[in-house]
Amino acid sequence: MGQEKGYLALVLHAHLPFIKHPEYPDFLEEDWFYEAMVETYIPLLNVFENLTEEGTDFRLTMSLTPPLCNMMEDPLLIERFRRYLNQRVELSEKELNRTRGTEFENVARMYFDKFRRYQDLFENRYHGHVLQGFKKFQDMGKLEIITCCATHGYLPLMVHKESVNAQIKIAATDYRGRFGRNPRGIWLAECAYNPGDDKFLREEGIRFFFTEAHGILHGTPRPKYGIYAPVYCPHTGVAAFARDMESAQQVWSAESGYPGDSRYREFYRDLGYDLDYDYIKPYLHSDGVRRNIGMKYHKITGKVSLNQKQAYQPHEAREVAAEHAGNFMFNRQKQIEYLSTILDRKPLVVSMYDAELYGHWWYEGIDFLEYLFKKIHYDQDEIKLITPSEYLEIYPQNQVVRPSMSSWGDKGYHDVWLNSGNDWIYRHLIKSSERMMELANKFPQADGLLRRALNQLGRELVLMQSSDWAFLMTTGTAKEYSTKRTKDHVKRFNELYEQIQGNRIDEGYVYSLEQRDSIFQHMDYNVYSSAAKEAVLKKY
Amino acid sequence: MEKNLSSGALVRPVHKDANTEADIPAGYGKTESYLLPKDPAWLFLFWEITTGTLDYIKSQYGQDTLQNARTIIRLHDVTDVAFFDGNNSVFHYDMPVIFEARSWYINAPQSGRTYVADLGYLTADGRFILVSRSNTTALPPGRVSDIIDDKWMIVEGDFQKLLKLSGADYIGMGASERLQVLGQRWKLTELTPSGAPSSWSSFALHLDKVQEDEDIWLKADCEIIIYGSASKNAIVSINGQDIELKEGKFSIRQHLPAGSVVDLPIHARNAKGDKTRHISIKALREQGK
């Protein structure tokens, strides 16, 4: 232990639902992935590269969820992303000429430089495989990559523990295949924890997970350190780390959060709407409808209408990001200093955010992180960045507390994923889960086509269990798509189930689903067997 | 927050799926029920009851008995009950329900307890006839534990300070901002204006704030549930907002604070708009003393 007064664990949760539509040459919702790649994931790698090159040490914990990893390694999506990135480079190059001598010259130059840099990283350093980049920094000990439930399934609403077991086991298998070791930690989808589910984590060698603050505050017995130290779950010894609300608010608060600064980039004013139609058309989707294309030339400015926004100044915005990073660090120093007067050990502050907040939503969030890493490294020694694994090495003794059921959703429990707008899905999710375990128990040693059909059945089940669909139904955005996805997977599941039960499996049908819903090539339907679940429950 | 420019009244172009898959089944032909936790105060129960089951019960108990019986949910508190046999719960309470509703939100009498819900008939002479028993579900406590760990003692004053610092007063707050921002994120590619009023589903969360030092206390609150059904081709609105029909049925719930009146006109119209039906439901909750 050094001279630091306490620790800061920064945790970013990177996730997108599995969206891949080979049946269309051009698909709108796939853009979520391409946008996040160019605005968040590759820019983050770029920060790691820069920091490493200049010798700045840093620590960051990131969940890369299995659906996201599957998309990052999908040949079709890689190819389509390549096209997307090429188009951005091409357009930003044209823009250099168009904006020369105007107030937008600097911002156009910024996009061109960034896109080219990201293209260079993507093509020449990672050869199309960005996971290799993330793995590299994990192997260097700077980045701790954790997994997530297989398809971001919402565990507390799963009645059959076979499904919980499968969500964890499939995720852990996927992780081992990609990163060559056990996942040490997991991000439970939506931080939704159900007491006892830690048994399935322990079985896969997972040593820690994260909860919302009241997951630990409402734990039994009372947590001695509040949320400023992890606790161990009874029987399993899996550690739970809770989210610090103070640092969360600094970024998320609508009134006082950093991202609302008037000098930052305005999200809603986009070139897709601003430029001449004929000029922008080649960069729109094939239907030719104007949409956001991710290049924005204006700053938030203030409470003015979109057409009164002023030109974005990249240099100015970066300075603000540096200022905010300094403020964030200062607040953590004060927080840790005060906490250390109450605690009899060095406090740990866990700051957790959605990764896509940085870069995609809060454009300068990437710069903010880079400055924060630098400032913490060079400017002070009161707080030290740490990963959960490192913390547990320093403090292997922790209080045993049974965390409370909780989530980080609105109101702190399951309301977002279970309300009158989406509760109809559980009839189907739970029935499918029951049918899946029924068949897994019935056919313990299937092979050939039956095995393929059963494995695909498992894929349809996990895909329908993505918490994203219920979430989108609640927010009202992409409601049509999320409803359709839920229904499609239920339909495909039922059709396959009937075929298997009727001993009339249609190979063509199985093949078409394997191509389309191609997540988890390693799927083994046996993870749904009741014996597998019982074995885990008995063990702990 | 600015309104997203990209969501306008545009026709969604790419989802006109040639092989659009047909709708999913309304049920699976099996009598069963499932109980899910929602928050410290609420449970969600959904069920399917087949005509076969109902016919069998009729044949066993006689048409007359059932006609004079009420259909109910009997919620059992089975905390620490190793094997629940239908009669050995800590306590139970009944609430009327219509089987056709197929799902119900249940306000649990106490947080932090474990529950089973039985669906069945309560006969005129007080007998309970079981139709379906749910799984067991535990609710979170929703408050700080009273149990203190001898090995990890802390001075009470320091613990209270820590609680405050840990954000105990803000549980679940701030998340709505996150919800909004993340919801917006998905909106980028979304062109279809959303229909359902999400505010219908919101209601106050009853965090248990029990004053341990008081001898006796009482809390009560009220929500109303309005439910119904309409013909498949009908467009139904409540209080001027169109709502979504699920298999021809709808239900909404709304908090009813003390001293308030809820007036909810329900309208149904056909696609052309030349035929309408109308029902008005009013509820008054008097100011409690």
A476-501: pLDDT as tens digits: 888 999 999 999 999 999 999 999 99
Encoded tokens for A258: 């950093």
Mean residue pLDDT across chain B: 77
Does residue B23 sit within a domain? no
* Cβ-defined contact of B37 to A156 (cutoff 8 Å): yes
- Please determine, for residue A164, whether its predicted confidence score (pLDDT) is greater than 50: yes
Does residue B129 sit within a domain? yes
Mean pLDDT in residue range B52-74: 94
Encoded tokens for A192: 């939704």
Closest Cα of chain A to B66: distance in Å? 27
For residue B253, with 0-12 CB atoms within 10 Å meaning exposed, 13-18 middle and 19 or more buried, which class applies?
middle
What ipTM did this prediction achieve?
A: 0.95
Mean residue pLDDT across chain A: 96
Contact B169, A406 (CB under 8 A): no
Is residue B117 within a helix (H) or strand (E), and if so which, with residue range? strand B114-122
Helix (H, G, I), strand (E, B) or coil at A8: strand
Contact A416, A504 (CB under 8 A): no
Closest Cα of chain B to A305: distance in Å? 8
Predicted local distance difference test score (pLDDT) of residue B93: 92
CA distance A227 to A211: 10
Contact B135, B118 (CB under 8 A): no
For residues B177 and B202, the model is more confident at: B177
Cis peptide leading into A221, omega within 30 of 0?
A: yes
Q: Name residues 252-281 of chain A within 8 A of B (Cβ).
A: 252-254, 267-268, 270, 272-273
Predicted local distance difference test score (pLDDT) of residue A156: 98
Q: Name residues 209-228 of chain A within 8 A of B (Cβ).
A: 212-214, 217-222, 224-228
DSSP β-ladder status, A208-211 and A239-242: parallel
The verdict on B165 touching A (C-beta cutoff 8 Å) is yes
For residue B193, with 0-12 CB atoms within 10 Å meaning exposed, 13-18 middle and 19 or more buried, which class applies?
exposed
Domains of chain A by residue range: 6-73+129-260+312-411, 271-308, 420-539
Does residue B5 sit within a domain? no
Residue position matching structure tokens 């240099």? A315
Query: For residue B184, what pLDDT band results from cuts at 50, 70 and 90?
Result: low
Q: Are residues B42 and B132 in the same domain?
A: yes
Percent of chain A with pLDDT over 90: 95
Query: For residue A259, what pLDDT band results from cuts at 50, 70 and 90?
Result: very high
Domain A420-539 architecture: Up-down Bundle (1.20)
CATH of A6-73+129-260+312-411, one of 3.40.640.10, 3.40.50.800, 3.30.559.10, 3.20.110.10: 3.20.110.10
Give the best residue of A244, A427, A434, A486 to mutate against chain B (max B CB count within 10 A): A427
The verdict on B183 touching A (C-beta cutoff 8 Å) is yes
Structural domain for B261, as ranges:
217-289
Q: Which residue of A has its CA nearest to B176?
A: A410
For position B285, which CATH number holds? 2.60.40
Mean pLDDT in residue range B195-219: 38
At position A456, the amino acid (one-letter code) is Q
Q: Which of B138, B163, B188 is the last residue of a domain?
A: B138
Give the best residue of B181, B206, B245 to mutate against chain A (max A CB count within 10 A): B181
Query: For residue B5, what pLDDT band results from cuts at 50, 70 and 90?
Result: very low
Predicted local distance difference test score (pLDDT) of residue B10: 26
pLDDT tens sequence across B75-92: 999 999 999 999 999 999
- Please determine, for residue B204, whether its predicted confidence score (pLDDT) is greater than 80: no
For residue A191, with 0-12 CB atoms within 10 Å meaning exposed, 13-18 middle and 19 or more buried, which class applies?
buried
Closest Cα of chain A to B13: distance in Å? 7
Query: For residue B216, what pLDDT band results from cuts at 50, 70 and 90?
Result: low
pLDDT tens sequence across A111-134: 999 999 999 999 999 999 999 999
**In this complex, which of B1, B166, B191 lies closest to A217 when CB atoms are compared?**
B166
Give me the total of CB pairs closer than 8 Å, taking one residue from chain A and one from chain B.
259
Predicted local distance difference test score (pLDDT) of residue B237: 85
CA distance A130 to A119: 11
Predicted local distance difference test score (pLDDT) of residue A417: 97
CA distance A428 to A414: 18
- Please determine, for residue A65, whether its predicted confidence score (pLDDT) is greater than 80: yes
Is residue A515 within a helix (H) or strand (E), and if so which, with residue range? helix A507-516
* Cβ-defined contact of A246 to B5 (cutoff 8 Å): no
Number of domains making up chain B: 2
* Cβ-defined contact of A157 to B186 (cutoff 8 Å): no
DSSP β-ladder status, B223-229 and A383-385: unpaired
Predicted local distance difference test score (pLDDT) of residue B178: 60
Q: Which residue of A has its CA nearest to B191?
A: A478
Does residue B14 sit within a domain? no
Does residue B180 sit within a domain? no
Predicted local distance difference test score (pLDDT) of residue B250: 78
* Cβ-defined contact of B186 to A475 (cutoff 8 Å): yes
Give residues with Cβ within 8 angstroms of A9, minimum separation 6: A59, A61, A241, A348, A349, A350, A351, A385, A386, A387, A388, A391
Mean pLDDT in residue range A264-271: 94
CA distance A186 to A207: 8
Q: Are residues B36 and B132 in the same domain?
A: yes
Does residue B239 sit within a domain? yes
Percent of chain B with pLDDT over 90: 42
The number of CA neighbours under 13 Å toward the Cβ of A531 is 8
Contact A66, A170 (CB under 8 A): yes
Give the best residue of B24, B35, B150, B202 to mutate against chain A (max A CB count within 10 A): B24
Mean pLDDT in residue range B36-45: 96
Predicted local distance difference test score (pLDDT) of residue B231: 85
Predicted local distance difference test score (pLDDT) of residue B189: 37
Select from A61, A56, A15 the least CA-distant residue to A392.
Answer: A61
Mean pLDDT in residue range A352-357: 94
The verdict on B227 touching A (C-beta cutoff 8 Å) is no
pTM: 0.86
Mean pLDDT in residue range B94-116: 94
For position B77, which CATH number holds? 2.60.40.10
Does residue B168 sit within a domain? no
Predicted local distance difference test score (pLDDT) of residue B272: 85
Mean pLDDT in residue range B91-113: 93
Which of A45-49, A249-253, B192-196 is the least confident region?
Answer: B192-196
- Please determine, for residue B274, whether its predicted confidence score (pLDDT) is greater than 70: yes
CA distance A302 to A263: 9
Select from B33, B37, B99 the least CA-distant residue to B249.
Answer: B99
Does residue B2 sit within a domain? no
The verdict on B285 touching A (C-beta cutoff 8 Å) is no
Which residues of chain A lie closer than 8 angstroms to B138, CB-CB? 195, 405
Helix (H, G, I), strand (E, B) or coil at B269: strand
* Cβ-defined contact of A477 to B194 (cutoff 8 Å): yes
The verdict on B195 touching A (C-beta cutoff 8 Å) is yes
Count CB-CB contacts under 10 A for residue B169. Answer: 9
Encoded tokens for A63: 């969940």
**In this complex, which of A404, A420, A481 lies closest to B141 when CB atoms are compared?**
A404
Encode burial over B135-144: b for 16+ CB neighbours within 10 A, e otherwise. Answer: ebbbbbbbbb
3-state SS, A292-311, equals CCCCCCEECCCCCCHHHCCE
Predicted local distance difference test score (pLDDT) of residue B219: 62
